[in-house]
Amino acid sequence: MTVTVRYFAAAAEAAGVTTETVDPGDARTAGDLRAALVRVHGPALERVLSRCALLAAGSRLDDDATPLAPDVTVDVLPPFAGG
């Protein structure tokens, strides 16, 4: 399974890329994906991810146990100010 990850704002800065395709190994959940991203990008991204929302196919991944669909695109969105 591959996951396309799109990073925005501070998440893109911490990851050093705006888009990447990752193979999270046996990752099947949102929590597995977060762990895989931290393994690749390190503690700078880990700090940002703790404040980010993950969206898959337009749905927020609030629970780390939420399963990921194969070949899904996940957006990593830091909090935004304003309304």
Please classify residue 70 by burial: count the beta carbons closer than 10 Å to its beta carbon, then call 0-12 exposed, 13-18 middle and 19+ buried: exposed
What gap in Å lies between CA 33 and CA 63, rounded to an integer?
Answer: 12
Instruction: Report whether pLDDT(65) > 90.
Output: yes
Beta strand 19-22 with 73-77 is unpaired
Which domains, ranges and CATH numbers included, belong to the chain?
3-77 (3.10.20.30)
Instruction: Report whether pLDDT(77) > 90.
Output: yes
Structure confidence by residue, pLDDT tens digits, 5-37 = 999 999 999 999 999 998 767 668 999 899 999
- Find the angle CA(41)-CA(61)-CA(35) to the nearest 5 degrees: 30
What gap in Å lies between CA 76 and CA 20, rounded to an integer?
Answer: 11
